[in-house]
A and B are shown apart, each in its own frame.
Chain A
Amino acid sequence: MNAESNLIPVLNIDEEEVNRQMQICNACRYCEGFCAVFPAMTQRLEFGKADIHYLANLCHNCGACLHACQYAAPHEFEVNIPKSMAKVRLKTYTDYAWPQKLGGLYQRNGLTLALSSALGLGLFLVLTLLIQGSLFSKIEGGDFYQIFPHNTLVTMFGSVFIFSILALVLGVVRFWRQVAPREKLQQEHAPVLMQVGEAALTLKYLDGGHGQGCNNEDDAYTLARRRFHHLTFYGFMLCLSATSVATLYHYFMGWEAPYPIFSLPVMLGIIGGLGLLVGPAGLLYLNYKRHPEHGDQAQRPMDRAFIVLLFMISLTGLLLLGFRESTLMPLMLALHLGFVMAFFLTMPYSKFGHGFYRCAALFKFYLETLKDNKSKR
């Protein structure tokens, strides 16, 4: 063990605030039924830096425990768990990001996403102009490989995507090392992983513990946020699988794009695209309606920029499909590729990381639950 790990890391202001509030919650525990955070809390008497980072990412920002808290402001204890957790959560994204220097991009994330979008759009508009001489031209059969050859796209997007996923995974691994230093994956963890999968895929902890959902603008429960997230998430996954299927078709079947409307990749893309249109639109609406005390106001630009980026990806993708036989195709293609590139570039430094960090925290939660159950037996 090196010398450093013997030191108890000092908490910063935001972590200290979580620590203070957790002491109150741990003496109260009324919210135990809402989510995973409180059962995880009751397993602890003290909250060190690692515990706080873990709990912050376990919190789904559902708002239930704020509206139910008898110690929320104007009470002098001023307990607001979703807010204090959100502040630390952003800090964890920033601190664990790889490479560390780029973690700073989280601090002005709205700007980061705007700039990368501008960059992506600029890049592809200029490239289209260079290659095609114009943004408007009709291409037979809507074959966009005539503008950007397949291999060029694969090289550009593939490399960025691989880097980004790698960076993201490295960040999450750093997070994991901090919050669960001695955990190694074992065979008996398979069921635990299933639990994590279920909790993430169903967004279990946005159901309020009673199935009626989380809070948005006030103390009433709603399933809207969960449902719009499902549309967003599954829409995104379908779009991703559309691209994957197309890649398989290309390399293994030798079938080249463009594919007809009633082909697997296009159908996946259309359904996914619609999900990724309606989902983010709903999330954005809810985000604007959100109770001002939920989460960290300062992070709204990050959330909104991410939502808008997803929406734009989907919108331009669907437009590209709709106009692929027309002269608008090159323009639509440039726009779509530009937004997708912006998304890929910022994946490890945008709100996209939340899913990964949350899954890691859920994994730790179910591991702890397993151990706790064992020790009780």
Chain B
Amino acid sequence: MIDVLIIGGGNAALCAALMACEAGASVLLLEASPREWRGGNSQHTRNLRCMHDAPQDVLVDAYPEEEYWQDLLKVTGGKTNEELARLVIRESSSCRDWMRQHGVHFQPPLSGALHVARTNAFFMGGGKALVNAYYRSAEQLGVQIRYDVPVEDLEIRDGRFVAALVPEREVNGTRLAAERIEAKSCVLASGGFESNRDWLREAWGMNERGEYPSDNFLIRGTRFNKGTLLKRMLSLGADSIGDPTQAHMVAIDARAPLYDGGICTRIDCVSLGVVVNNEGKRFYDEGEDFWPKRYAIWGRLVAQQPGQIGYSIIDSKAVGNFMPPVFPGNKADSFEQLADQLGLPRETFVRTIQEYNKACRPGSFNHTELDDCVTEGIIPAKTHWARPIDTPPFYGYALRPGVTFTYLGLKTDKTAAVHFADQPSKNLFVAGEMMAGNVLGMGYTAGVGMSIGTAFGRIAGRNAALSSLGRSPA
């Protein structure tokens, strides 16, 4: 029998596998996806939020524990666990040497992301390069890795993990028999449920217009995070944490693929123009704050609009002032043409833009600060960067809500143990997105997902190894 079974194939799973292996356990990792899709949402990431008291290779200045903690407190509105959060924060200051040992390379912030030069260390080549490095290292250390193995169920006896059950399945045209895989201990790191359309429907329900909003959500990450084990664990009586109806959502290009659109589908020009819904009306202050601080609320805002769609409208003054979008926008020389191209009601759309233009007060435009360009007399107001949209050609980008991850997870403590009726399991642990809600009950701040996954992946792996050797978690 194998010592430690790891279920999942993203950052948290790999960190756990490597640590368990280093602690002397025999390790088997089961990844639901085929090899070419391995790495879950982790393959789409780009950075890690790191505490540091002084400049550290690619990180400038300092980002002390207290400031990190305050940032977390702020974004989560208090929905966090201070003990676990501080654990993650401290781990983030020391884990990078270990990451490097396993082949991860860091680089200074990417152009267009300089605002996080102090707080975030970027992975050279992004998350897929990180995932590749971990898989290589794991293989070298002797971790057994199996792809195309979606675990469907778990056998739990008296709060102890016994075995994982894999259903009969077809892989590349071959039928594979159902399997029952036993292990002395187990780490669950199989992500959230963002690609489970039925569950999203259930969570989001029907709106007052009779629509199922989630049917129009795009999933920014992997298609393999269906939450199968999360659901099973909850029905097996594991303690949960986080709001089951909540997900982190951003506004992305409506033409993005249904899954795995990743980072490049974001639309960064919202604050430089206006956003209308499919009735041609504005619905929120586009200039409330800097875009990196606001993009996450726009997913939800768009989700609340009829048809779950919005349209970011800019003129040619804005071109070059934002990260280039992946697909070219609709381009027209008049508002009427643009309305036709985007399929918006002409009159309302043109009226919206004209009213907005008239409401713009003169000011000195500066996109790098909260400037004094504001509107007057319209609702909703635009409170910064309000410049008339008057210089053709005009551009329009359709927006849809793009789900990054879900918040619902399993409750845990500083040993990463899964809890049943408040009692920690002796041999079942959890890491990554599946427990991120303990630290991040709400909101988000760049790079914290990987910090949580790395910290708890490492803890879970070590403790699973200890447990398999008959020792208690440290």
Seen from chain A, the residues whose Cβ lies within 8 Å of a Cβ on chain B are 23-24, 26-34, 39, 42, 45, 64-65, 67-71, 73-77, 208-210, 212, 219-220
Which B residues are in CB contact (< 8 Å) with A67?
A: 125, 128-129, 132
The answer to whether B46 and A23 touch across the interface, beta carbons within 8 angstroms, is: no
Q: Does B323 interact with chain A (Cβ within 8 Å)?
A: yes
Q: Does B320 interact with chain A (Cβ within 8 Å)?
A: yes
Q: Which residue of B lies closest to A75 (CB)?
A: B260
Q: Does B264 interact with chain A (Cβ within 8 Å)?
A: yes
Q: Does B171 interact with chain A (Cβ within 8 Å)?
A: no
The residue from A69, A76, A209 contacting B124, defined by CB atoms under 8 A apart = A209
20 contacts between A and B (CB under 8 A): A26-B324, A27-B264, A27-B323, A27-B325, A28-B326, A30-B46, A30-B110, A33-B125, A34-B124, A34-B125, A45-B320, A67-B125, A67-B132, A68-B126, A70-B43, A70-B128, A71-B264, A76-B257, A212-B105, A219-B129
Seen from chain B, the residues whose Cβ lies within 8 Å of a Cβ on chain A are 36-37, 43-44, 46, 105, 107-108, 110-112, 122-129, 132, 136, 257, 260, 262-266, 319-320, 323-328
The answer to whether B260 and A219 touch across the interface, beta carbons within 8 angstroms, is: no
The answer to whether B264 and A68 touch across the interface, beta carbons within 8 angstroms, is: no
Q: How far is the CB of B116 from the nearest CB of chain A, in Å? A: 14
Which B residues are in CB contact (< 8 Å) with A33?
A: 105, 107-108, 122, 124-125
The answer to whether B125 and A30 touch across the interface, beta carbons within 8 angstroms, is: yes
The residue from B44, B111, B123 contacting A29, defined by CB atoms under 8 A apart = B111
Q: Which residue of A lies closest to B124 (CB)?
A: A33
Q: Which residue of A lies closest to B262 (CB)?
A: A70
Which A residues are in CB contact (< 8 Å) with B112?
A: 29, 42
Given A42-B111, A71-B262, are A31 and B324 also a contact pair (CB < 8 Å)? Answer: no
Q: Could you tell me the distance between the alpha carbons of A188 and B126 in the complex, rounded to whole angstroms?
A: 36
Which A residues are in CB contact (< 8 Å) with B325?
A: 27
Q: Could you tell me the distance between the alpha carbons of A243 and B179 in the complex, rounded to whole angstroms?
A: 70
Besides A32-B111, A70-B260, 14 other A-B contacts (C-beta < 8 A): A23-B324, A23-B326, A23-B328, A27-B323, A30-B128, A30-B129, A64-B125, A65-B125, A68-B125, A69-B128, A70-B127, A70-B128, A71-B262, A212-B105
Which A residues are in CB contact (< 8 Å) with B326?
A: 23-24, 27-28
Q: Which residue of B lies closest to A73 (CB)?
A: B36
The answer to whether B126 and A31 touch across the interface, beta carbons within 8 angstroms, is: yes
Q: Could you tell me the distance between the alpha carbons of A114 and B128 in the complex, rounded to whole angstroms?
A: 42
The answer to whether B111 and A27 touch across the interface, beta carbons within 8 angstroms, is: no
Which A residues are in CB contact (< 8 Å) with B136?
A: 219-220
Q: Could you tell me the distance between the alpha carbons of A77 and B122 in the complex, rounded to whole angstroms?
A: 23
The answer to whether A74 and B37 touch across the interface, beta carbons within 8 angstroms, is: yes
Q: How far is the CB of B159 from the nearest CB of chain A, in Å? A: 38
Which B residues are in CB contact (< 8 Å) with A76?
A: 257
The answer to whether A30 and B126 touch across the interface, beta carbons within 8 angstroms, is: yes
Interface of A is mostly: loop
The answer to whether A209 and B107 touch across the interface, beta carbons within 8 angstroms, is: yes
Q: How far is the CB of A56 from the nearest CB of chain B, in Å? A: 20
Q: Could you tell me the distance between the alpha carbons of A210 and B132 in the complex, rounded to whole angstroms?
A: 15
Q: Could you tell me the distance between the alpha carbons of A224 and B37 in the complex, rounded to whole angstroms?
A: 28
Q: How far is the CB of B5 from the nearest CB of chain A, in Å? A: 25
Q: Which residue of A lies closest to B46 (CB)?
A: A30
The answer to whether A219 and B320 touch across the interface, beta carbons within 8 angstroms, is: no
The answer to whether A68 and B262 touch across the interface, beta carbons within 8 angstroms, is: no
Which A residues are in CB contact (< 8 Å) with B123?
A: 30
Which B residues are in CB contact (< 8 Å) with A69?
A: 128
Q: Could you tell me the distance between the alpha carbons of A84 and B424 in the complex, rounded to whole angstroms?
A: 53
Q: How far is the CB of A2 from the nearest CB of chain B, in Å? A: 28
Given A45-B324, A209-B124, A219-B136, are A28 and B129 also a contact pair (CB < 8 Å)? Answer: no
Q: How far is the CB of B85 from the nearest CB of chain A, in Å? A: 28
The answer to whether A28 and B111 touch across the interface, beta carbons within 8 angstroms, is: no
Which B residues are in CB contact (< 8 Å) with A71?
A: 262, 264
Which A residues are in CB contact (< 8 Å) with B266?
A: 27
Q: Could you tell me the distance between the alpha carbons of A76 and B110 in the complex, rounded to whole angstroms?
A: 25
Given A23-B324, A220-B136, are A31 and B264 also a contact pair (CB < 8 Å)? Answer: no
Q: How far is the CB of B252 from the nearest CB of chain A, in Å? A: 11
Q: How far is the CB of B34 from the nearest CB of chain A, in Å? A: 8
Given A31-B126, A70-B44, A219-B132, are A45 and B319 also a contact pair (CB < 8 Å)? Answer: yes
The answer to whether B324 and A27 touch across the interface, beta carbons within 8 angstroms, is: yes
Q: Which residue of B lies closest to A68 (CB)?
A: B125
Which B residues are in CB contact (< 8 Å) with A27?
A: 263-266, 323-326
Q: Could you tell me the distance between the alpha carbons of A219 and B327 in the complex, rounded to whole angstroms?
A: 29
Q: Which residue of B lies closest to A23 (CB)?
A: B326
Q: How far is the CB of B352 from the nearest CB of chain A, in Å? A: 28
Which A residues are in CB contact (< 8 Å) with B328?
A: 23
The answer to whether A30 and B132 touch across the interface, beta carbons within 8 angstroms, is: no
Q: How far is the CB of A280 from the nearest CB of chain B, in Å? A: 29
Q: Could you tell me the distance between the alpha carbons of A64 and B319 in the complex, rounded to whole angstroms?
A: 31
Which B residues are in CB contact (< 8 Å) with A24?
A: 264, 326
Q: Which residue of B lies closest to A67 (CB)?
A: B132
Q: Could you tell me the distance between the alpha carbons of A42 and B129 in the complex, rounded to whole angstroms?
A: 20
Q: How far is the CB of A23 from the nearest CB of chain B, in Å? A: 6
Which A residues are in CB contact (< 8 Å) with B320?
A: 45
Which A residues are in CB contact (< 8 Å) with B36?
A: 73-74
Q: Could you tell me the distance between the alpha carbons of A31 and B36 in the complex, rounded to whole angstroms?
A: 19
The residue from A42, A70, A75, A209 contacting B126, defined by CB atoms under 8 A apart = A70
Q: How far is the CB of B317 from the nearest CB of chain A, in Å? A: 14
Q: Could you tell me the distance between the alpha carbons of A68 and B263 in the complex, rounded to whole angstroms?
A: 14
Q: Could you tell me the distance between the alpha carbons of A73 and B260 in the complex, rounded to whole angstroms?
A: 12
Q: Which residue of B lies closest to A28 (CB)?
A: B264
Which A residues are in CB contact (< 8 Å) with B124?
A: 33-34, 209-210
Given A23-B326, A220-B136, are A32 and B107 also a contact pair (CB < 8 Å)? Answer: yes
Q: Which residue of A lies closest to B47 (CB)?
A: A30
Q: How far is the CB of B328 from the nearest CB of chain A, in Å? A: 8
4 nearest A-B residue pairs (beta carbon):
A30-B126, A68-B125, A33-B107, A27-B264
Q: Could you tell me the distance between the alpha carbons of A133 and B319 in the complex, rounded to whole angstroms?
A: 76
Counting chain A CB atoms within 10 Å of each CB, the highest count among B105, B108, B125 belongs to: B125
Counting chain B CB atoms within 10 Å of each CB, the highest count among A34, A65, A74, A219 belongs to: A219
The answer to whether B128 and A32 touch across the interface, beta carbons within 8 angstroms, is: no
Q: How far is the CB of A273 from the nearest CB of chain B, in Å? A: 37
Q: Could you tell me the distance between the alpha carbons of A74 and B122 in the complex, rounded to whole angstroms?
A: 25
Q: Could you tell me the distance between the alpha carbons of A69 and B380 in the complex, rounded to whole angstroms?
A: 40
Q: Could you tell me the distance between the alpha carbons of A262 and B105 in the complex, rounded to whole angstroms?
A: 47
Q: How far is the CB of A206 from the nearest CB of chain B, in Å? A: 15
Which A residues are in CB contact (< 8 Å) with B129?
A: 30, 64, 67-68, 219
Q: Which residue of A lies closest to B34 (CB)?
A: A74
Which A residues are in CB contact (< 8 Å) with B108?
A: 33
Which A residues are in CB contact (< 8 Å) with B43?
A: 70
Which A residues are in CB contact (< 8 Å) with B324?
A: 23, 26-27, 45
Q: How far is the CB of A259 from the nearest CB of chain B, in Å? A: 49
Which B residues are in CB contact (< 8 Å) with A77?
A: 257
